[in-house]
């Protein structure tokens, strides 16, 4: 591809974003600090919208200029390559992070941290989200992948979600209007979730807090939380567990550069301190190759890869 048209598109997108006079626009913003891997290059253009209309405008601008865009929340489920991440990165955590309560209904903006939401609901004695305690990232990211733990998926408690579609139009869907799959919600792909309403039940705050604390304690015991990672690398294959397959294949501790299959939990790849995205990527490919050779099972990524096209 001739780079000149893309450079011109970037200049056009920048100018139009500045003309919105709302939100924050930055160029070549470091992304490593915005991911839980603590790995990544630079966003060609990073935009922090103030509200839903800003999100809609930004996506329309990208679409009109045929400029690629991505949505970045807490960066807890993504591996970003080194170098410049071409396109527009719309990040939700700076401004879209309010949480409001109306009796048993909680309305949350997508950039709010999931743990922050759970702390508030537990404090108020609202039941439904406590099993997700300790899952990192934002509410929007959790909904987009239908995160889950201990028999609960985040979609179980959703009443409705609001999002901006690929054409820059604001949409509202009830929970029942969306197909919720295991760690995948096809209808929300390439959209930007802006608000989520959760319908919760009443419970005992003391018991809820005890449960939350126990779940977080169990995570700390079983997961390598003292190293940067992005959680489970692979989805659970049918009738098996990715971490168990990786462990049985003897891959715990397998290291490439600064990236390592955790010795504590084989489903995690950790950054030992100086890992490069390319090293994590090579480790992912090595694991998949060995597992398919040994068991005939193709491990499907749960994490997203950005900038490896």
Domain with residue 120: its CATH number is 3.30.465.10
What average pLDDT is seen over the chain?
96
Instruction: Verify that 107 and 199 share a domain, yes or no.
Output: yes
Distance CA 231, CA 254 (A): 17
Looking at the DSSP assignment, which residues form a beta bridge with residue 197?
107, 160
Instruction: Verify that 76 and 105 share a domain, yes or no.
Output: no
pLDDT at 257: 98
Q: Which residue has the tokens 């190293």?
A: 227
Are the C-beta atoms of residues 46 and 26 closer than 8 Å to each other?
A: yes
Domains contained in the chain, number: 3
Alpha-helical runs (H) found in 145-204? none
Residues 261-291 have pLDDT tens digits of 999 999 999 999 999 999 999 999 999 999 9
Query: Which of 46, 63, 91 finishes a domain?
Result: 91
Which CATH number belongs to the domain containing residue 242 in this structure? 3.90.78.10
183 is catalytic: yes
In a domain, 216, yes or no: no
Residues 101-143 have pLDDT tens digits of 999 999 999 999 999 999 999 999 999 999 999 999 999 999 9
Instruction: Verify that 181 and 165 share a domain, yes or no.
Output: yes
Q: Which residue has the tokens 């070549």?
A: 28
Instruction: Verify that 69 and 109 share a domain, yes or no.
Output: no
Residues 170-225 have pLDDT tens digits of 999 999 999 999 999 999 999 999 999 999 999 999 999 999 999 999 999 999 99
Alpha-helical runs (H) found in the chain? 3-20, 52-64, 114-123, 139-144, 205-222, 242-248, 277-295
In a domain, 218, yes or no: no
Distance CA 245, CA 259 (A): 19
**What are the structure tokens assigned to 118, written together?**
């759970």
60 is catalytic: no
Residue 76, helix vs strand vs coil: coil
Looking at the DSSP assignment, which residues form a beta bridge with residue 304?
78
Mean pLDDT along residues 10-30:
97
**Distance, CA of 120 to chain centre:** 21
Q: Which residue has the tokens 């929007």?
A: 140
pLDDT at 6: 82
Choosing from 29, 109, 153, 302, the catalytic residue is 302
Instruction: Verify that 108 and 198 share a domain, yes or no.
Output: yes
Q: Which helix (H) or strand (E) holds 29?
A: strand 24-30
Choosing from 34, 76, 183, 229, the catalytic residue is 183
Instruction: Verify that 117 and 136 share a domain, yes or no.
Output: yes
DSSP state string for 75-94: -SSEEE-SSEEEEEEEE-TT
Instruction: Verify that 127 and 164 share a domain, yes or no.
Output: yes
**What are the structure tokens assigned to 100, written together?**
């409001």
**What are the structure tokens assigned to 153, written together?**
């998926």
Mean pLDDT along residues 83-109:
97
Give the model's confidence band at 1: pLDDT under 50 very low, under 70 low, under 90 confident, else very high: very low
**What are the structure tokens assigned to 232, written together?**
């489970």
302 is catalytic: yes
Choosing from 155, 232, 243, 262, the catalytic residue is 232
- The whole-model pTM stands at 0.94
Distance CA 173, CA 159 (A): 9
Are the C-beta atoms of residues 47 and 244 closer than 8 Å to each other?
A: no
Mean pLDDT along residues 85-99:
97
Q: Which phi and psi (to 5°) does residue 281 adopt?
A: -65, -45
pLDDT at 3: 55
- Please count the residues of the chain: 309
Instruction: Verify that 84 and 105 share a domain, yes or no.
Output: no
Instruction: Verify that 158 and 187 share a domain, yes or no.
Output: yes
Dihedral over Cα of 46, 141, 139, 225: its sign: negative
In this predicted structure, the answer to whether residue 4 has a pLDDT above a threshold of 70 is no
In a domain, 285, yes or no: yes
Are the C-beta atoms of residues 157 and 143 closer than 8 Å to each other?
A: no
**What are the structure tokens assigned to 113, written together?**
């941290």
- 286: containing domain: 224-306
The residue among 217, 302, 238, 296 whose CA lies nearest residue 267 is: 302
Distance CA 138, CA 146 (A): 12
Give the model's confidence band at 7: pLDDT under 50 very low, under 70 low, under 90 confident, else very high: confident
């Amino acid at each position: 591809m001739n780079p000149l048209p893309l450079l011109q598109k970037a200049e056009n997108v920048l100018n139009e974003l500045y003309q919105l006079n709302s939100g924050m626009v930055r160029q070549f913003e470091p992304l490593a600090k915005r991911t839980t891997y603590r790995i990544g290059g630079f966003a060609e253009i990073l935009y922090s919208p103030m509200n839903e209309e800003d999100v809609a405008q930004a996506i329309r601008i990208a679409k009109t200029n045929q400029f690629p865009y991505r949505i970045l929340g807490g960066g807890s489920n993504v591996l970003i390559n080194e170098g410049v991440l071409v396109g527009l990165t719309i990040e939700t955590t700076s401004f879209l992070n309010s949480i409001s309560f109306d009796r048993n209904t909680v309305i949350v903006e997508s950039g709010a941290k999931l743990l922050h939401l759970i702390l508030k609901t537990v404090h108020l004695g609202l039941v439904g989200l406590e099993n997700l305690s300790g899952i990192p990232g934002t509410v929007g990211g959790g909904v987009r992948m239908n995160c889950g733990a201990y028999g609960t998926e985040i979609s179980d408690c959703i009443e409705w979600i609001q999002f901006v579609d690929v054409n820059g139009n604001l949409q509202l869907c009830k929970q029942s209007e969306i197909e919720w799959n295991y760690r995948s919600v096809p209808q929300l792909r390439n959209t930007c979730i802006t608000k989520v309403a959760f319908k919760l039940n009443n419970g005992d705050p003391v018991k809820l807090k005890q449960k939350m604390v126990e779940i977080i304690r169990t995570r700390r015991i079983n997961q390598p939380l003292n190293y940067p990672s992005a959680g489970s690398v692979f989805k659970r294959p049918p009738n098996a567990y990715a971490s168990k397959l990786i462990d049985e294949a003897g891959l715990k501790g397998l290291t490439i550069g600064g990236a390592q299959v955790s010795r504590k939990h084989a489903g995690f790849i950790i950054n030992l301190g100086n890992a490069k995205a390319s090293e994590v990527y090579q480790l992912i490919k090595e694991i998949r190759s060995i597992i398919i050779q040994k068991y005939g099972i193709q491990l499907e990524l749960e994490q997203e890869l950005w900038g490896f096209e």
